[in-house]
């Protein structure tokens, strides 16, 4: 559970840095996401999840 909370904290920290450093591009990216088809978002989401699990598996052994 502590590792999960650390991961959530890192997500918040990275998002916060992006919003603070690049507010305009982040807003444009979010607007672009609303126009992207669900199938493309689903594919990117699945790919991201698989990459994340593989990365954790490699690091944690």
pLDDT (tens digit, 9 = 90+) per residue, 27-56?
Answer: 999 999 999 999 999 999 999 999 999 998
DSSP secondary structure string, 1-61?
-HHHHHHHHHHHHHHHHHHHH-HHHHHHHHHHHHHS-HHHHHHHHHHHHHHHHHHHHHHH-
Residues comprising the chain, all counted: 61
* 5-21 pLDDT, tens digit each: 999 999 999 999 999 99
Task: Give the Cα separation of 53 and 46 in Å (integer).
Answer: 11
Please tell me the predicted confidence (pLDDT) of residue 2: 87
**pLDDT band for position 61 (cuts 50, 70, 90):** confident
């Amino acid at each position: 559970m502590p590792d999960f909370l650390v991961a959530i904290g890192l997500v918040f920290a990275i998002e916060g840095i992006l919003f603070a450093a690049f507010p305009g591009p982040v807003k444009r990216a979010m607007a672009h996401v609303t126009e992207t088809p669900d199938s493309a978002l689903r594919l990117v989401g699945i790919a991201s999840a698989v990459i994340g699990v593989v990365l954790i598996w490699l690091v944690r052994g």
